Amino acid sequence: MRSSGAKFGHRSCSRIEVGLSPKIIGYSGIRFAALRCIGVIALAGIMLAGNVFTAHAESAETGSVASYAPGANWGGIAGTATIRYVTESPTGATTIATGIIAVPDGPAPRQGWPVVAWDHGTRGLGPACGLTARPGFDAELLRRLVDLGYAVVAPDYVGLGPGAETAHPYLQSRTEATATIDLVRAARHADPRLSNTWAVAGLSQGGHAALNSGYLAGGYAPELDFRGIVALAPASNVENVLPMFGPQAPALPVLTPVVGLVAAVFDGMRVGAPDFDLGPYLTTDGAELLDRMAFSCGPEWAQRVGTETLGSVLAQPLSAGPLRDRLRRYASVPTAGYSRPILIAHGMADITVPIAASMALTDQLRANGVDFTFRTYPAADHDGVVDAAWPDVVDFLGRVLPRPT
């Protein structure tokens, strides 16, 4: 297991989402029970210069600025800045997180630039894996949003940025949300040109983060004017899919990515749920795999997993004991209690996070009377949903978060 004194390694990182190639599941008639049929592939997809920092996270308020460095030219986008700010730690204390701020050219409108928070997809488990270090896929999307007239803030999430004080609690709902909301707060403190009106958008793990951020926004930061959620191919129902696996699973190549995802979620729980004993669920090989996965970035996961199988790393079914309930508290997407509109967009050719996951989620939302719009795109795969859904995203944001004229 990771010791409390473990040091962060220096690792190269680029964005990755692991995908499999089963038959595409048809839209009609699929309901929540279909998750049992697609659990394998659903899980496979969930897969700075600045001012001197003198404040201490434990004595500072969440959303306050630790350091701010304008002129970063992050991702080739003029007018960007990097920021370090205070947010919640995985165990409910405070810690320092990092993020990006991008602002349109020219003078700000009288009310300030409306803000879109962008939550990125799976990148890994350590401080070399976040957006600040590697712009990658997300830079073009931030550029598009800035060109529309939005200020954009993008968190690394806790544990994924330079100088992180903790490891990343992968798929922990609470810290994804608080890191996002506190970045909006901190960005407004650092740059008064940003308005207090904002919306959140994200892809994959970022869709999971966006939904949790939108759910928490009104109660956590009532001083902000939150307007809506865009969730592109969001990871969901992890707490229902993960317990389908156990040591009895066959040693098939199609399940190898699931081994890495189980290890990543467990590694996150070691940080975000340290009081929960994962030991009874892991063999000796499983515990050693978690240590190999620690602080790694997504492209390294296949090499870290190697030839391990679910049978070699799991000591008992994940449906046994209290794990399902703890997963629900750790990683679930709320299915009721939203106060603002939601757009969920998913490609029907997505074999990373299959559309059946979002169909199950939208059934749950519908049953609870949640206000949402669900859009599907027949030819779009996981990353392709960004382009396919873009006109719908622009239209949705234009309605809930009008751009300056």
How far apart, in whole angstroms, are the C-alpha atoms of residue 228 and residue 359? 20
pLDDT of residue 95: 97
pLDDT of residue 25: 29
- Region 18-37 average pLDDT: 34
- Region 65-75 average pLDDT: 91
What residue spans define the domains of the chain? Answer: 64-237+333-400, 239-327
How do residues 127-148 score in pLDDT, each as one tens digit?
Answer: 999 999 888 779 999 999 999 9
Which H or E run contains 154?
A: strand 151-155
pLDDT above 60 for 19 = no
Beta pairing partners, 230: 201, 343
- The pair of structure tokens assigned to 54 is 């003198």
Q: Which residue has the higher pLDDT, 217 or 351?
A: 217
Out of 3.40.1640.10, 3.40.50.300, 3.40.50.1820, 3.10.300.10, select the CATH number for domain 64-237+333-400: 3.40.50.1820
pLDDT of residue 60: 84
Among residues 381, 344, 349, 371, which one has the least CA distance to residue 360? 344
pLDDT category at 57 given cuts 50, 70, 90 is low
How far apart, in whole angstroms, are the C-alpha atoms of residue 105 and residue 288? 50
pLDDT above 70 for 229 = yes
- Region 143-166 average pLDDT: 95
pLDDT category at 2 given cuts 50, 70, 90 is very low
- The pair of structure tokens assigned to 399 is 């309605």
**Weakest mean pLDDT among 24-38, 175-189, 245-259:** 24-38
pLDDT of residue 20: 32
- Give me Rg for the CA atoms of the chain: 20
- Region 92-118 average pLDDT: 96
How far apart, in whole angstroms, are the C-alpha atoms of residue 129 and residue 10? 10
Cβ–Cβ under 8 Å, residues 201 and 180: no
Beta pairing partners, 154: 100
- Region 35-53 average pLDDT: 40
In percent, the amount of the chain with pLDDT more than 90 equals 75
User: Hey, which of 136-140, 159-163, 173-177 has the most confident mean pLDDT?
Assistant: 173-177
- Region 271-277 average pLDDT: 96
pLDDT of residue 299: 86
The DSSP 8-state label assigned to residue 174 in this structure reads H
**Weakest mean pLDDT among 194-203, 214-223, 318-327, 348-357:** 348-357
pLDDT of residue 58: 55
pLDDT category at 153 given cuts 50, 70, 90 is very high
pLDDT of residue 59: 55
pLDDT above 50 for 39 = no
Among residues 87, 20, 84, which one has the least CA distance to residue 54? 84
Average pLDDT, the chain: 87
Beta pairing partners, 102: 80, 152
- Region 262-280 average pLDDT: 96
Q: Which residue has the higher pLDDT, 14 or 402?
A: 402
How do residues 337-393 score in pLDDT, each as one tens digit?
Answer: 999 999 999 999 998 888 999 999 999 999 999 999 999 999 999 999 999 999 999
Laid out side by side, the sheet with 80-88 consists of: 65-70, 80-88, 94-102, 151-155, 113-119, 194-203, 225-232, 342-347, 372-377
Burial state string for 49-79 with b = 16 or more CB within 10 A and e = fewer than 16: ebeeeeeebeeeebbbbbbbbeebebbebeb
pLDDT category at 257 given cuts 50, 70, 90 is confident
pLDDT above 60 for 6 = no
Which H or E run contains 240?
A: helix 238-241
pLDDT of residue 12: 32
**Weakest mean pLDDT among 21-30, 169-178, 321-330, 341-350:** 21-30
Burial state string for 385-395 with b = 16 or more CB within 10 A and e = fewer than 16: bbebbeeebee
